[in-house]
């Protein structure tokens, strides 16, 4: 599914707006994400830092986990908004890959300027997916 210009702008504005809620006392690097599901609902997320750094969670994963916790499993696109147009980390790429290599990824800076439009597959070539796991019995 290709995003319309209106959908793209709605997602960009949502990701930019939610950045203000990021909890970033250590890096001061605010990230907002807006995830569009096939059902048409948008889930947002922010990064939440922790003094024990590995416990930190990124905005992209926050949005995905919120969506999954409400029963969503099919995603169309995600916009990631950072100060300078930084791309999703490896962990976020892998989490997105779990739900589809064709998910559109749009990265914008704090002014909403698009720095990158791509897919999860292009961000994570050779992604590890369920296809690499042995079949399991239900």
Residues belonging to the active site: 60
- Report the alpha-carbon angle 80-24-117, nearest 5: 10
Antiparallel, parallel or unpaired: β 75-81 and 42-46: unpaired
**Residue whose pair of structure tokens reads 């739900």 in the numeric block:** 99
User: What are 108's strand-pairing partners?
Assistant: 81, 114
Antiparallel, parallel or unpaired: β 104-108 and 42-46: unpaired
Sheet holding 75-81, edge to edge: 42-46, 32-37, 75-81, 104-108, 114-119
Distances (CA, A) of 44 to 71, 117, 126, 129: 15, 19, 27, 24
């Amino acid at each position: 599914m290709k995003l319309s210009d209106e959908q793209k702008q709605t997602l960009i504005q949502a990701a930019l707006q939610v950045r203000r809620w990021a909890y970033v006392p250590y890096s001061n690097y605010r990230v907002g994400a807006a995830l569009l599901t096939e059902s048409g609902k948008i889930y947002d997320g922010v990064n939440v830092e922790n003094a024990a750094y590995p416990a930190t969670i990124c905005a992209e994963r926050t949005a995905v986990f919120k969506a999954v916790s409400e029963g969503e499993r099919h995603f169309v696109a995600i916009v990631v908004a950072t100060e300078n147009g930084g791309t999703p980390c490896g962990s976020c790429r892998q989490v997105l890959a779990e739900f589809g290599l064709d998910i559109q990824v749009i990265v914008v800076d704090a002014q909403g300027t698009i720095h990158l439009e791509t897919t999860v597959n292009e961000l994570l070539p050779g992604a590890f997916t369920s296809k690499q796991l042995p079949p399991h019995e239900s």
